[in-house]
């Protein structure tokens, strides 16, 4: 895949139209003519990620500033297939009829950042992985499932917690009920209550318990319906209205079917909201009927209590207390069943989640093996000066960062505790310990005292465990440069040395689009004319590089397939010339801009020739 054409509609580069070629394309021009702006427009237009947050912010701002309300239009080509990607400053993402392949765009400061940052070094290796798309897609899908299952478990745990609180409030009610029933039995015998009276008391107490259980069921059901209604309202509020088809886009509205689908989706949501509302009304009706039944039952109970009070003062109050306790015992039984049901659901979901987590671990092993193979292949390709080492699951920084964020607001010393946990417990182990309040598991794994472990589990129970379960634990990559007789990690190298490590990796990835703003920055000419130029000359036919440069060695010795000279009148940047290297106008553009003019070039050449002849003589 390569960029065939870039057009700009509006802003500083308005009416810019460049047809790029496969191979090496070099943008030249004085400062302020739009080279960097064009690089950032390509990044913006294709939605390419930046290696640093600072580069992402500055690049996005520059692209929007250059467009000034306009848009960038990029034509991509893959074999005989062509498609167009467009984006204006209002678009959150590029608009494309098909997925946009991975593109690497690097601003001036980003090359050395690739070598300095762990994520950048990993991305450098991943560019060579043949299985990357499929493995990463499967991994991301499994991680999304982990988040969903953990969120579902969290919801059920919250329900169970509420149920347990209600059960706790009913603690001792069975024993109290047994005592009151025994007292009621003795009393009814002592006052010689009739058989019918005894049956009425028993029947009404049983019926009151049944009505109480029903009321609890109705209340819980109504609460769930309200929650579902609120969730659907949020979804309905997120459905965006599709814009009208403007006449400037043609007479035929090509979005008619899409708009119909949008209307159909909105109608389905409204219908679902209506169904839930009707269900709520049905519950309200059942609650009213239950209230009437309770009033009737209570009226009958009052009549019986009056009859019993005539036989013995206090008998009616005793049966009333027995009635209340019967209701509470019935409620307790239902709550215990609900709590058991929630435990079973949690166990099923946790088992399912463990299987998904196992698949995630398998995918990560596959990733590691693929990266290790890449490192081995690069050793042969790049020679002895550069070395690569892949450490399995060696990058826990993001997991640690998520833990630190989760612990903020607690009294825990999270700066030391978070890395300790990240190194000793996998996200799944930690989440399961928190969900089950398994303080001992945290104590033993992290080697901290039980009080501190209890604080950890208690605090994390109030946090979003979906973020924890999906915390990325990725492989770490170290890059080394032979400096004298020792290999040094890029962490310990100068900016220029980091660039000399990173660029050979970037240029060795054949078949991908690489866009760099001034790759020669921080490099000496010896490296440029040696390593960099040799890599450019060895490029494959299906590679495409788009470089903005001020160094003549890159287009000339790199045998550029296209040289584009940009110029500006102060208000607008434009293409002054676009042509192949062998064209006279191209050579004139290179010498005037990059060599100080033809005369300066000749004088330098004459000077070097005379000095070198004297030395050789």
Mean pLDDT (whole number) for 555-580: 93
Residue 615 has pLDDT above 60, yes or no: no
User: Are residues 37 and 114 in contact, defined by beta-carbon separation less than 8 angstroms?
Assistant: no
pLDDT tens, residue by residue, 126-144:
888 888 889 989 999 999 9
Mean pLDDT (whole number) for 449-476: 93
What are the backbone dihedrals phi and psi of residue 170, each rounded to the nearest 5 degrees, phi first?
-100, 15
Q: Return the H-helix or E-strand segment holding 486.
A: strand 486-489
pLDDT tens, residue by residue, 85-101:
999 988 989 999 888 88
pLDDT tens, residue by residue, 164-199:
999 999 999 999 999 999 999 998 888 888 899 889
pLDDT, position 448: 93
Give 482's pLDDT tier (boundaries 50, 70, 90).
confident
List all residues 6 or more positions away from 527 whose beta carbon is below 8 Å from its beta carbon.
Answer: 500
pLDDT, position 434: 95
Among 127-141, 361-375, 421-435, the least confident range: 127-141
- How do strand 103-106 and strand 513-517 relate by DSSP bridges? parallel
Q: What 3-state class would DSSP assign to 313?
A: coil
Task: List, edge to edge, every strand of the sheet that includes 386-395.
Answer: 386-395, 474-483, 486-489
- The mean predicted confidence, pLDDT, of the chain is 90
User: Are residues 184 and 322 in contact, defined by beta-carbon separation less than 8 angstroms?
Assistant: yes
pLDDT, position 84: 94
Q: Does domain 2-127+494-581 have CATH number 3.20.20.70?
A: no
Among 77-81, 274-278, 457-461, 520-524, the least confident range: 520-524
User: Are residues 108 and 101 in contact, defined by beta-carbon separation less than 8 angstroms?
Assistant: no
pLDDT tens, residue by residue, 292-341:
999 999 999 999 989 888 888 888 899 999 999 999 999 999 999 999 99
Residue 531 has pLDDT above 80, yes or no: no
Percentage of residues of the chain with pLDDT beyond 70 = 98
What are the backbone dihedrals phi and psi of residue 405, each rounded to the nearest 5 degrees, phi first?
-65, -40
Higher pLDDT, 500 or 41: 41
């Amino acid at each position: 895949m390569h960029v065939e054409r870039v057009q700009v509609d509006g802003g500083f580069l308005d009416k810019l139209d460049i047809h790029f070629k496969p191979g090496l394309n070099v943008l030249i021009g004085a400062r302020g003519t739009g080279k960097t702006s064009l690089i950032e427009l390509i990044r913006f237009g294709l939605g390419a990620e930046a290696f640093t947050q600072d580069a992402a912010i500055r690049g996005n701002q520059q692209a929007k500033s250059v467009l000034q309300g306009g848009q960038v239009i990029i034509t991509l080509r893959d074999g005989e297939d062509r498609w167009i990607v467009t984006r204006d400053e209002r678009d959150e993402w590029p608009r494309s009829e098909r997925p946009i392949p991975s593109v690497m765009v690097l601003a001036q400061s980003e090359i050395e950042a690739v070598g300095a940052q762990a994520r950048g070094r990993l991305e450098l290796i991943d560019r060579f992985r043949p299985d990357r798309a499929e493995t990463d897609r499967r991994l991301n899908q499994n991680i999304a499932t982990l988040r969903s299952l953990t969120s579902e478990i969290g919801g059920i745990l919250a329900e169970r917690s509420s149920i347990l609180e209600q059960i706790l409030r009913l603690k001792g009610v069975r024993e109290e009920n047994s005592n009151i029933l025994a007292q009621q039995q003795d009393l009814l015998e002592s006052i010689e209550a009739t058989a019918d009276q005894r049956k009425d008391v028993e029947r009404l107490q049983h019926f009151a318990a049944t009505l109480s259980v029903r009321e609890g069921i109705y209340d819980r059901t109504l609460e769930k319906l309200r929650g579902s209604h609120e969730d659907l309202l949020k979804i309905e509020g997120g459905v965006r209205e599709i814009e009208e088809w403007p006449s400037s886009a043609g007479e035929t509205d090509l979005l008619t079917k899409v708009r119909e689908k949008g209307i159909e989706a909105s109608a389905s949501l409204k219908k679902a909201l209506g169904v839930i509302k009707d269900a709520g009304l049905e519950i309200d009706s059942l609650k009213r009927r239950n209230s009437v039944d309770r009033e009737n039952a209570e009226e009958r109970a009052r009549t019986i209590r009056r009859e019993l009070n005539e036989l013995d003062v206090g008998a009616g109050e005793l049966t009333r207390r027995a009635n209340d306790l019967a209701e509470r015992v019935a409620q307790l039984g239902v709550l215990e069943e609900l709590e058991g049901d929630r435990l079973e659901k949690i166990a099923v979901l946790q088992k399912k989640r463990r299987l998904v987590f196992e698949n995630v671990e398998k995918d990560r092993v596959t990733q590691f093996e693929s990266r290790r193979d890449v490192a081995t292949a690069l050793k042969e390709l790049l020679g002895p000066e550069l070395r690569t080492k892949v450490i399995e699951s060696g990058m826990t920084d993001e997991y640690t960062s998520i833990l630190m964020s989760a612990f903020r607001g607690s009294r825990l010393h999270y700066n030391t505790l978070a890395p300790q946990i990240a190194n000793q417990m996998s996200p799944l182990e930690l989440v399961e310990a928190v969900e089950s309040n398994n303080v001992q598991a945290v104590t033993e794994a992290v080697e901290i005292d039980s009080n501190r472990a209890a604080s950890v589990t208690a605090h994390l129970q109030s946090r979003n465990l979906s973020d924890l379960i999906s915390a990325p634990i990725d492989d770490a990559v170290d890059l080394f440069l032979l400096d004298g007789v020792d290999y040094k990690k890029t962490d310990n190298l100068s900016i220029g040395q980091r660039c000399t490590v990173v660029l050979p990796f970037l240029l060795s990835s054949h078949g991908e689009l690489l866009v760099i703003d001034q790759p020669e920055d921080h490099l000496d000419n010896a490296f440029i004319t040696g390593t960099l130029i040799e890599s450019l000359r060895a490029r494959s036919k299906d590679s495409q590089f788009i470089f903005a440069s001020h160094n003549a060695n890159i287009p000339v010795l790199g045998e550029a397939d296209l040289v584009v000279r940009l110029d500006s009148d102060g208000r607008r940047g434009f293409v002054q010339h676009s042509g192949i290297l062998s064209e006279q106008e191209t050579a004139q553009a290179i010498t005037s801009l990059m060599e100080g003019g033809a005369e300066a070039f000749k004088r330098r050449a004459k000077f070097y020739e005379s000095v070198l002849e004297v030395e050789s003589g």
